[in-house]
With several copies, the nearest count.
Chain A
Amino acid sequence: MTNEEKKCIAKFEIHYTQLLNQAGERVGPLPEFAASYETLLALYRTMVQTRTFDSKAIALQRTGKMGTYSSSLGQEAVATGIGHAMLFEDVLLPTYREYAAQFQRGVAMSEILRYWGGDERGMAYAEQPHDMPITVPIATHVPQCAGIAYAMKLRKEARVAVCVLGDGATSKGDFYEGINLAGAWQLPMVVVVTNNHWAISVPRKVQSHAQTLAQKAIAAGIPGEQVDGNDVIAMRHVMSNALEKARSGGGPTLIEAITYRMHDHTTADDASRYREQAIVDEHKRLDPIDRLRKYLIANHNWDDTKEQALHDACAADVEAAVNSYLDTPPVPPESMFDYLYETLPDALQSQRDEVERRGKQQKGGD
């Protein structure tokens, strides 16, 4: 018996959105927000700032002033689009490459540096009350995102929970359990898969035989779509639509954003062991910043002077953040006990005393 004789009981399609091609030219009608120069400039500025931050952070690591760091080079449009489309009262659950979104949501560059400097205070986010800190254990934040979204739904708040994860992360069971719950409970939640082609040394195709990652949504019975993640206008647009839908009770969406990891996985990695530089160079032509710059030049009189001024401003901001980072007062050793529980249990008091005493001795001895 062939398939034709079987009854078709369900059909699905996956769609892809690109609005600007790699030359920065419109390939379709642009959404309303793209008419605003201020908006485009904000997107552009965030991308440039993030990239400026990125290269400084790498330099700090290379010179021994910071620990391992994960670069977002080449992927800036994804998190920029996400962060710009979200409202402040929404909640973001990032991994370790969504700096652009975090910066837009009030996380300080100096906090990110502190984090990679091995200091929990880098997750205290003085200006961002609700967002979850960077999640290192892959995909564990997807069910958490569903829990956050459920809290919003229960309280009938017009808020959305957004989690971002990588292509590799889509292989992990909790990603699936989380999106399945999002579907089952029709949660106000958007899941963005940043498909940067690599999970450390493992290429996207090793992760799954699925031809797109967007189609993973079908397993959860939720809409899934693909977007050109190096096209910040498309990214912002698709993200906005998904947020609006979730916010108005329309349920969750999975978005696969196609981009490319231009740097090593982290500063502890050496990508030349497993990928050809030639392929990386090819992807340079798809660069998200170049693409929006071309569009700005062609449509908004963007020029080298403005470009230079922007770069200078970003560099100054980054410089200030680095100084703040380097000036961070030392963390007292006994603080490792102080945020473990609301109140330190008696059982731990003597351990804390020991650490405090030793800390004082060492200080005294210096």
Chain B
Amino acid sequence: MAEITILEAVNLALARALEEYPDVVVFGEDVGVNGGVFRATEGLQKQYGTERVLDTPLAETMIAGMAIGMAAQGLRPVAEIQFMGFIYPTIEQMICHATRLRNRTRGRITCPMVLRAPYGGGIHAPEHHSESTEAIFAHMPGLRVVIPSSPLRAYGLLLAAIQDPDPVVFLEPKRIYRMMKQEVPDDGEALPLDVCFQLRDGTDVTLVTWGAMTHETLQAAEQLEAEGIGCDVLDVATIKPLDMETILNSVAKTGRCVIVHEAARTCGVGAEIAAQLAEHGLLSLFAAVQRVTGYDTIMPMFKLENDYMPSTERIITAVKKTLEEA
């Protein structure tokens, strides 16, 4: 079995879903002949036809709205938003309808749709192409928000998102799209949408992260290991709903926690995790929870993007700070 990237794993999961479920429809801007600007949908139109893999007009509100309509009719739409920076026109549809259709109709009409978008910075892209605004979606009741950080998880979580009977926003960390390779058996097996994944075992401090930041976080953990500091690294993966149990168990073990995310700090998902740790884990905590995040500034254009995004160094500094305390 060949090793594949996250991007290829996304492609593989989409192909698998198109193959297995006749109700799956894949669409968005440039997803057809072009195979998506990152090639996530490469070859799918050729394989599954222009009726199931479609280029849409350039209109994100419409993309979300039509996905909802399709889902209401029992299709399983998988819509692509080209970059997370262009996802905002979908918000009205997502918060007013996708998340509410089942509730509003007491289960008569459901909305099994997936909205995919590459997200995050670090690829020297133009303005608006480096957004990490997952917290906006994490605040919406009725939604699932899922972020893979490895080829295996990209495959398994995307299949899970497509199989899920409710709406899922699926954010793909584009900086690591091609960064690592793994053997990914194309077995059609979904991964669970309600658990964090433990990436590394350690007893001194818990590092909680997701998306491309798993990369910096694992690097930090490795460097810290060399200094004799053992890190428990958790990839939250499904940031809504949150699997706090796993996080709390880890913190019960380590007594210390650093949360790492790329998004702006204020009202980011890290705040929710930190708040719940303070609520339920106060007795286990030996030190204040640290958040290493993007700043509360506009994501700068690429000359400064590395100054904005959490670095291995910033994570290590935060870990050491929690170790100094108490």
Contacts and interface: CB of A to CB of B under 8 A. Distances in A.
Complex contact flag A–B (Cβ < 8 Å): yes
A351 B68 CA distance: 28
Contacts of B298: 336, 340
A189 to B, nearest CB: 10
Given A119-B301, A337-B295, A143 B69 contact: yes
Given A118-B124, A202-B58, A140 B34 contact: no
B320 to A, nearest CB: 15
Nearest to B195: A346
Interface string B90-123: 0011001100001111111110000000000000
A151 B112 CA distance: 14
B110 A342 contact: yes
Contact of B57 (A119, A180, A201): A180
A200 B307 contact: no
B307 A181 contact: no
A207 B58 contact: yes
B302 interface: yes
B51 interface: yes
A144 B55 contact: no
A67 B124 contact: yes
Given A148-B72, A274-B34, A347-B242, A136 B57 contact: no
Q: Which of B60, B69, B93, B144 has the most CB of A within 10 A?
A: B69
A91 B60 CA distance: 23
A140 B93 contact: yes
Interface string A84-122: 000000010000000000000000000000011111110
A149 B108 CA distance: 19
A117 B127 CA distance: 11
A333 B304 contact: yes
B66 A143 contact: yes
Contact of B59 (A121, A137, A181): A181
Interface string B234-250: 00000001111100000
A166 to B, nearest CB: 8
Contacts of A341: 102, 142, 144, 165-166
Nearest to B55: A202
A310 interface: no
Nearest to B308: A336
Contacts of B75: 151, 154
Given A143-B69, A148-B70, A201-B32, A347 B241 contact: yes
A68 B130 CA distance: 13
Contact of B37 (A67, A123, A144, A200): A200
Given A144-B66, A178-B62, A130 B55 contact: no
A149 B68 CA distance: 12
A268 interface: yes
Given A142-B65, A348-B296, A150 B105 contact: no
A136 B131 CA distance: 13
A346 B194 contact: yes
Interface in A260-293: 268-269, 273-274
A345 B58 contact: no
B64 A120 contact: no
Interface size class of B (residues with CB under 8 A): 35 or more
A339 B301 CA distance: 13
Contacts of A121: 106
Nearest to A207: B57
A124 interface: yes
B125 interface: yes
Given A346-B245, A348-B241, A129 B108 contact: yes
B301 A120 contact: yes
B64 A143 contact: yes
Nearest to B61: A174
A151 B73 contact: yes
B106 A200 contact: no
A201 B307 contact: no
Given A174-B61, A207-B57, A140 B73 contact: no
B126 interface: yes
Contact of B107 (A67, A172, A339, A359): A339
B80 interface: no
B106 A339 contact: yes
A164 B59 CA distance: 17
Nearest to B124: A67
A224 B48 CA distance: 34
A184 interface: yes
Contact of B69 (A146, A201, A268, A337): A146
A180 B104 contact: no
B281 interface: no
Contacts of A339: 102-107
Contact of A146 (B51, B65, B297): B65
B295 A144 contact: no
Given A116-B126, A201-B34, A202-B29, A181 B56 contact: yes
A347 B239 CA distance: 11
Interface string A135-175: 01110111111111111101000000100000011011110
A296 interface: no
Interface in B225-269: 241-245, 265-266
Interface of B: 25, 29-30, 32-35, 37, 51-52, 55-75, 77, 85-86, 89, 92-93, 96-97, 102-110, 124-129, 141-142, 144, 165-166, 194, 241-245, 265-266, 295-298, 300-305, 307-308
**3 interchain residue pairs of minimum CB distance:** A147-B69, A143-B65, A118-B302
Given A118-B124, A341-B142, 7 more contacts: A123-B105, A124-B105, A137-B86, A140-B96, A143-B93, A174-B61, A199-B29
Interface of A: 67-68, 91, 115-121, 123-125, 129-130, 132-133, 136-138, 140-152, 154, 161, 168-169, 171-174, 177-178, 180-181, 184, 199-202, 206-208, 268-269, 273-274, 330-331, 333, 335-337, 339-342, 345-348, 351, 355, 358-359
